[in-house]
Each structure stands twice: as C-alpha cells, then as structure tokens.
Structure 1
Amino acid sequence: MQFFSTRDYSRKVTSSEAIAQGLSGEGGLFVPETFPQVDAQELCTLDYPTMAASILGQYLTDYDPAFLLRAAEKTYGPAFGGKPDVLAPVSDSLYALELWHGPTCAFKDYALQLMPKLLVEAKRNLGRTEKTLILVATSGDTGKAALDGYHDIPGVEIAVFYPTGGTSEIQRLQMATQEGENVAVYAVRGNFDDAQTGVKRVFADKEIAARLAERNIRLSSANSINWGRLVPQIVYYFAAYGQLVRGGKIHFGDEVDFCVPTGNFGDILAGYYAKRMGLPVGRLVCASNKNNVLTDFLETGTYTAKREFYKTSSPSMDILVSSNLERLLCHVTGSDAEVASLMRQLSEQGSYTVRPETLAAIQESFACGWASEEEVAAEIRARYEQNGYLCDTHTAVAFHVAARQQRAGVPMVVLSTASPFKFPRSVLAALGQEAPENDFEAMQALEQATGRTAPASLAALRQKAERFNTVIDPAEIAQVALSYQQ
C-alpha cells in the first residue's frame, strides 16, 4: 500500500517512508491510498498482539508480517502489566476502555511503545543509516510516552517541547526526569499550539533539512501527525468491540458508539479508520473541554483557531489547532487542492469553513459535545459516588459528553485516556477533599480517600532527579534542531 500527502496527491511514499519521514515536504500529512477491508468478526476473536499485527499488516505492506507479530508481542506484554485491553463496565451499556495501563499511564503508550520498533525497521527496509532526529510537541502525555519509547534507541535523538505551565506537575516531572543519553526536553513559552507550530515550521524549512542532511541527520516526528503513531491506535477499537461480543453484551454486527476525549483529533480518527475498515462502529463522539474548537466545527462547519485559549484541568486537550482533522478532511473531500486551500486559510486567517456537503458527510459518523470545568469536576465525583469508578479529568470530559449523546440500546465505550493519579489535585478536589499543593502529597491523599493505589511509575517520580529545566521561545525550536551533530 502507498501513502500520499493530504495536500498533494502526487507525493506518494511507502509505509516505511511515511513513518521515517513523518510529515510530507510541503506540510501535508500522509494518508493511506485506501481503507483495507478486513474480516472484522475474525479479527475480534484474536488476542491483542495477534490482532495488532494483523491490522498493522493491512497498512504496513512493506514490513515483514513476522516482524510485525514479534514487535506486537514484545510491545503489548509485560510493559502493559498483561492488561493491554481493559474494558471496565461503568453502568448499563456504558463502558470505560482503560488505555492507561502502560509504562507512562496514558493511552499514548499503545503507539509509542511500538513506534520506535517501526521506525528502526523502516530505516532497515529503506537501507538508511543516517541519524534520525525526532522533534515532538506535546500537551502533556505524548512527550513522556515518546521519551520512554525512544530513549537509548541507536541512531535516534529525540527532543520534546511542552508549553511551560501547560501540563500537570506529574506530567512535567515525567518528562524532566527522563533517563537516556539521546533525550532532551524543553519548556516552551506559550501554549501547545505555539510549540506545535514551532515544530511544524522546522519540518517545513528546507534550509534546516539541507543543513542537517550535510551532517547525515534526517528529521522525523512522534506526534500523531506521523502515520506510525496513528495506525497502532486503530487496534484497540477492534479489541473493545471483541470484548463486548465475547462477553455476550452484543452480537457481531451490532453498532457500538465510542466517546473520545479529543485534542489533536488522532485518537478519535483511529476509530474512523476502524469503522471504514469494516468494524461496526456507530457514532464517534468527539468530547472537548472548554477549548471547544472541535465542537464548534462539528456543529457549524467553521473552524476558528483564533479564539481565547484556556488552561484547564485536562491539559492534554488544551489545543486549538487539531492537526489530524486535516486527514479527515482529505478522506471526506477527496481533494488535495481543497485541503491545501483550507490549511492555507487556517495558517493565514486563523479559520476556514468547509462546504455544507463536507460537513454533512462528517456528521454521518461524528457527534460532539464539550464540558466546562465545573462539569468535569461534577462528573468525576458522580462516577465515583454512583458507580465506584475513579477517572481522570480527560476521561471525565468524555463521560459528561457521553451521557448526553448515548443512544437507547446502543452500548457506549468511553476511551479512558490517563490514570487519575496523573492529575491528583484536580481529582481530589473534585471528590470534595482538601487538595494539598504538592502533587505527591495529593497522590497519597487520593490513595487514602479512595483505597486505590497509584501506579508505581508515578509514585517513584518523587525520588528522581530533574535533568531538564531549559525554557525557550517557540522561535528557538529551530536552533535546537540545528544544534544536533552526527
């Protein structure tokens, strides 16, 4: 299978090239030329690693299937505590797909524990021996997951950029204490969009690419703009559906809706790919926090990034420019020229409006809603008191929206994207408890209040030394990239 750029269909690459390169030269995102059709019923009977290898093999056709199976078995084993696909019942026809049992306690682990293996193999497939410099903009969870996955991988350097003051303290410490000789972390003045824009500008700068090439260095990305980040996330939609079938909750062919807390639109877009491949997905419900740019777009067809930015208790969703929406627009419009024009309008004017027929086509698969800070807190408390289910702030956004979008007789699966112990002060306060200023004291208080145990990897942060404390302006991201040597 080949992949082409959302902004220029003539730019075609293999899956290995798409993963190694990350972003197309003119700024477009790589998408597959078709949606492979699978025997979804058969796939849903497989164990998680075998299912992952099969689904990845549909897209990564220049990879050896035996390699994909070995990589999946190695990835989704002990690192996930033997629980790569926990589907927890919450109430009647409402479930939480717990995607935070990996090493960094966030759903990003599903892709970023596998993606380094895919990158190394891509370079082998292509006969490349250059150093790969990975630049990552993060709103909180991607940074740590990427650092954990790529640290000390031969032939790879990784630099992560996060908005200063824009993550929880636990998220910040996860990055600032990261071990490894090939890792670097920078706080960026501004918000996530400032960091993401700075990284994208580096990728689009041909002079930077040429100067790095002289040193035998090539750029790549671990953000969800990279196809290697997106494709592993398709798998857990099949896994969740399969669990419902095997548990007797549905018959194969019944629709299941998924509600996804959404920032950069990658996690929910993976569900769209699953649906287009043949999984009986009903509606994909896009749940936003107070930064509800996606909700407005899905309701009106106008995307407006020039708006007030809010720092919320769900920082990984504090995003105004949702990169992966570009991929959806590509699939729905079928026009590279149209997508290129919309993205140019977004860059130059801060907004764009799609055609009515484009919006109608999107609304066939997507519903939406958003939650205020007060509603997020109320949802955390309600789920705990009414259902005994403890969730983090991002998952609470999705629970709130799911309650308003759930259809009678149709199961709703909420993607639970992070451990509640990554945001202990917010969760504790939502439960009506006094929240200590120190996150680790709050973590202990949350354990005492709920009888739950914080993940060991988070509790251990208290004893780890901080390695990275540099603060830069977005414009300095280019200087960071140019500082690397072979």
Structure 2
Amino acid sequence: MKYISTRGQVAPIGFIDAILMGLADDGGLLVPTELPKLSAETLAAWQKLSYPELALELFTLFANDEIPRGELKQLVDASYATFRDAHVTPVRRIHDGLHVLELFHGPTFAFKDIALQFLGNLYGYIAKQRDATIHILGATSGDTGASAIEGVRGKEGIRICILHPHGKVSRVQELQMTTIADDNVLNLAVEGTFDDCQRIIKELFADVEFKHQYHLRAINSINIARILAQTVYYFYAYFRLADEGQAGAVNFSVPTGNFGDIFAGYLAKQMGLPVGKLILATNENNILERFVREGVYQPGEFRGTYSPSMDIQVASNFERYLYYLCGGDAAAVASYMNAFKQEGRIVIEGEKLAQVQADFAAYGVRNDECLDAIGGYYDQYGYLLDPHTACGVAATDAVAGEGEVTIALSTAHPAKFNEAIELRGITQSYPEQIQALFDKPQSQTVVDGTNDAVKSELLKFF
C-alpha cells in the first residue's frame, strides 16, 4: 500500500514517508491508495483482541512492513501502557439506546492521546532509525496541543511548537500545555481564533522550501497516522457491544470540529465495520451541519461556545472526505479546493449531495442544548458529560431513530471544562493530575496571528 495526495501531484510514497510529509507537498492531504476490505471472519477474530492487539493488527495493514512487526508491537504497547483504564477506551452503558465510548483515559484526559501517544512514539522511532531531526509544528483548539506535547516532551531529536488561540481554550487546557518545562517545547498563544492558527500551520507547511529546510513535521490530523490510529476505537467499541449480544449496525455520534474523528469512523465503515448512522455533531459553528443538509461548505461568523475545541469553521480533514466523495478524482478535488480558496465556498449538488446525506446525519447543538444535556444526563443517569460529549449526546437524541443503538464518543474528561459544568450548578472534583496544574508556573509567548510573527519565533526556537 502506498499513499497519495488528494490533489494528485505527489508520487505514491510509503508509510513512513507519508508520516514525515504530513501535509502533502502539493497542498493536499495524504490518503492510502486503497482501503482494506475486512471479512466477517476477520472481524470475528478481531473481536477477541485487547485494545493494543487490535491496534497492532490495524496498523499492520497500513504500515507496509516498513516497521518490523515486533518493533511495531513495542511502539503500540508503549503507547497504550500510559492509559489509566485496562480497556484503554471503555464503553459505558447509559441506557438501552445509548452507550458512551470514553476516550479520555490517557495522560491528558482527552481523546487526542489515543493517536498522539502512538504518533509521538512513532516520531521517536523514526528519529532514531534515520538519525533525523524532527521539528513538530501543530495548531490546537485545546486538546491536541497538550496531547502532542505529552507525546514527545523530552524525546531526543525532537522539538515541538504548538499554536493555540490566546484566551480561547479552557483554563485546564491552557495549563496542560503551558506548564511543561521541557526545553524541546514551545507554546505560542496566537491573537486570533483556531482557524487562524490552522491557516498559519497549513501555509507554513505549504512553503515546501521552509518545510524541508527545518524538517517540519505535522502533529495535527492532517497527518494520516492520526486518522489511522483513531479508526481503532470504532472497531473496539463495536466489538464490546457485540460481546453483549448486540447484532447488526450501530450508530456512532461524534462531536466534530476538524472532521478528523468522524472521518476515522467513515474509513472504518468503508473497511467493513457494520456502522449505521455516522452522526456528525457540531456546535453553533455549524459549517459541517450545513454542508450535510444543504451541500454548501462555507465558513460563517465565528461563535465562542461552551465546547471550545469544536469552535472551528474550516475543517482540515474535509478534503479527505471530498476525495472519496469524488470517487478518487484528484483533479476534481483540486478544482473544488481552488474554488474554496478563491470564493470561500464549495457547493455540492445532485447525486453527490445525496451521497453525503447517505454517509452522515448532522445536527448543530446550540449552547443551551449543550448545557441541558449536561444537566439532564447528570440528574437522570448520574453520568457527567463534558460539553463536547454533551453535543454528541444531544445530537443523538435529535436524530437517532427509535430502537437504534448509538455509541456517543466522549472526547474529554469533564474536569477539563469546569467552566461549563458549573453553569448547571454541578460541583465536580478534579483528578489529582489536573488539580496539580494550578500550582505550576506557566511558559508561553503571545504572538500576532501572522505567518511572519510565528515564523520569527520558530527560527529562534530551531
């Protein structure tokens, strides 16, 4: 298996080179040349595997034997040994129609740990194998930054710089990033929104000369390894319900901002996992909901919400889905993306729009609905949702059909977003690791939201 660009101007490359390239050199995103089709027999065999064993089997399908299986197993085992739950991503039953997939048992209490613990170890492995310098550059709306930093802090041969929107992440998210004292970590607080941070990252990576000169590597979900790692928990969650006798397709409801997490579910479905509805849950920054309902992909007015990690207008993984929607026609994708750059919108009609609506259901959760879900589920079921998970649950309540079974992805521990929890009069206790953050000194640099301002800090850091 090789990896190609959604825009068609990059020759097929191997797994490790795809990881190192991150953003394709033609400005597109890398995708595998083919998706494995899994038989019922394979799925039945995989149902018996532990989480690390399942991850190993899935990664093996995409790694092309570039990493010997024994060494790949060591990377996987080391990545998931850091999680606080033996199941890594346990599934909790809320009621007959709803289960919650808890993805927050990693070091930073967020779902990003699941991919970034692995990617951090993978980068460390590649740096040693190739005697290479790796400079990681990423943007975060809150959780990616802390998880990425935790994945590579102190690792020899690696430096990491993370951009986050100044004053637009939760207090705990900020502390998790900015209280890290390792010399190989730089935090830049950008005056602007996450979309500004993401734009700067993409434009710096698109400067191929600068990218190659300073060995820039991607930690955001533009990196295909992030997506592949996230497919694992869709399989694992489905198998846990199958253990309990659940037969047939299961819905997944996914709090979505950058489209990476739900795109991983889309890939799992394309590989043969019996998925019913893929419910795309947005907040009031609902560009993706409008796309599913109307076929119009166009940024609107930015709105700050109680689910700040989803406060995203331009979804970086949207282009990957567009590639599959266009049947692998890279020229068509390049045309759409050029139109988006020139006109600020993409319009899908006819059969393509019908396909989008077959692939996804969508619902934009208002701020008050988010808080109502937090309060209502806590009062009725004694289960505390973080505001992003609450969006996924509220979307489930809105679009799941009677008798359907849905797994809602829980993307963060509620302690990371106490600002929203308190608004419903709920008092929670912080885990020890989070409570300790409040007494640590912070280190961050505030910069203007321009490429030049960020590049200047990067050059000093490198």
TM-score calculated relative to the size of structure 1: 0.91
Equivalent residue, structure 2, for 1:160: 162
Residue 105 (str. 1) matches residue 105 (str. 2)? no
> Paired residue for 1:219, among 198, 201, 216?
216
Partner SS, residue 481 of structure 1: helix
Deviations 1:94-134 (A, max 9, x none): 0000100111010000001110222233456xx63331111
Are 2:93 and 1:86 equivalent residues in the alignment? no
Match of residue 329, structure 1, among 318, 322, 336: 322
> Is 1:65 aligned with 2:69?
yes
Q: Secondary structure at the match of 1:224?
A: coil
The answer to whether the Cα contact below 8 Å between 2:165 and 2:194 also exists between their aligned partners in 1 is yes
| Distance in 2, Cα, partners of 1:206 & 1:225 | 16
| TM alignment of 1:187-336, pairs within 5 A | 187-209=189-211, 213=213, 217-248=214-245, 250-251=246-247, 254-305=248-299, 307-333=300-326, 334-336=328-330
Contact kept? 1:118, 1:228, Cα under 8 Å: no
What is aligned with 1:41?
44
Kindly indicate whether residue 448 of structure 2 is the aligned counterpart of residue 472 of structure 1: yes
2:51 and 2:87 in contact (8 A); partners too:
no
Separation (CA, whole Å) in 1 of partners of 2:123 and 2:82: 21
CA contact (8 A) 1:259 1:284 kept: yes
Q: Deviation at 1:21? A: 1.5
Partners in 2 of 1:206 and 1:78 — Cα distance?
Answer: 35
Match of 2:26 in 1: 26
Distance 1:483 1:202 in 2: 16
CA distance in 1, matches of 2:202, 2:144: 16
Whether the 8 Å CA contact 1:176–1:469 is kept in 2: the answer is no
1:118 to 118, 122, 125: 122
Aligned residues of 2:186 and 2:461 also touching (Cα < 8 A): no
- Looking at structure 2, the residues matched to 190 and 256 of structure 1 have their Cα atoms a distance apart, in angstroms, of 39
Q: 5+ residue gaps in structure 2?
A: none
Deviations 1:136-189, CA, capped at 9 Å, x for gaps: 110000000000001111111100000011101111111111231200001001
CA distance in structure 2 between the aligned counterparts of 1:405 and 1:179, rounded to whole angstroms: 45
Residue pair 1:116, 1:150 contacting (<8 A) in 2 also: yes
Contact 2:148 2:219 in 1 (8 A): yes
Structure 2 distance, partners of 1:409, 1:11, is 47
Aligned to 1:436: none
> Aligned-pair distance for 1:484?
4.2
Distance in 2 (CA, whole Å) between partners of 1:399 and 1:229 is 24
Distance (Å, rounded) in 2 between the aligned partners of 1:150 and 1:267: 21
Rounded Cα–Cα distance in structure 2 between residues aligned with 1:338 and 1:74: 41
Distance 1:206 1:243 in 2: 44
Is the deviation greater in 177-186 or in 292-301? 177-186
Matches within 5 A, 1:425-436: 425-430=419-424, 432=425
In structure 1, the residue corresponding to 2:159 is in which secondary structure? strand
Counterpart of 1:464 in structure 2: which amino acid? K
Contact 2:2 2:15 in 1 (8 A): yes
Aligned length: 456
Task: Name 1:136's counterpart in structure 2.
Answer: 138
3-state SS, counterpart of residue 83 of structure 2 = helix
Which secondary structure does the structure 2 equivalent of 1:483 belong to?
Answer: helix
**Which residue identity does 1:34 align to in structure 2?**
E
> Distance in 1 between the 2:243 and 2:197 partners?
43
Residue 345 of structure 1 deviates from its aligned partner by: 1.8
* Structure 1 residue 454: Cα displacement: 2.2
Contact 1:157 1:182 in 2 (8 A): yes
Match of 2:359 in 1: 365
1:362 shift after superposition = 2.1
Q: C-alpha distance in 1, partners of 2:124/2:14?
A: 15
TM-score (norm 2): 0.95
Gaps of 5+ in 1: 434-445, 448-452
Deviates more, 1:271-280 or 1:405-414: 405-414
How far, CA to CA, are the matches of 1:120 and 1:423 in structure 2? 31
Residue in structure 1 matched with residue 182 of structure 2 by the alignment: 180
Structure 2 counterparts to residues 389-468 of structure 1, below 5 A: 389-430=383-424, 432=425, 446-447=427-428, 453-468=429-444
Quote the offset at 1:339 in angstroms. 0.9
- Give the equivalent residue in structure 2 for 1:2: 2
RMSD over aligned CA atoms reads: 1.5
Rounded to whole Å, the distance in 1 between the matches of 2:176 and 2:263 is 27
Kindly provide the amino acid, as one letter, of the partner of residue 229 in structure 1: R
Q: Which amino acid aligns with 2:439?
A: Q
Determine which of 36, 40, 53 is the counterpart of 1:50.
53
Matches of 2:271 and 2:399 in 1, distance apart? 24
What SS does the aligned partner of 1:13 have?
Answer: coil
Aligned counterparts of 1:360 and 1:44: Cα–Cα separation in 2: 33
8 Å contact 2:196–2:449 — kept in the other structure? no
Q: State how far apart, in whole Å, the 2-side matches of 1:46 and 1:209 are.
A: 40
Any runs of at least 4 consecutive aligned residues in structure 1 with deviations exceeding 4 A, and if so which?
none
Q: Write out per-residue CA displacement over residues 302-361 of structure 1, whole angstroms, 9 at most, x where no aligned residue.
A: 1001x2100111000000000111101111212111111111122222111124222222
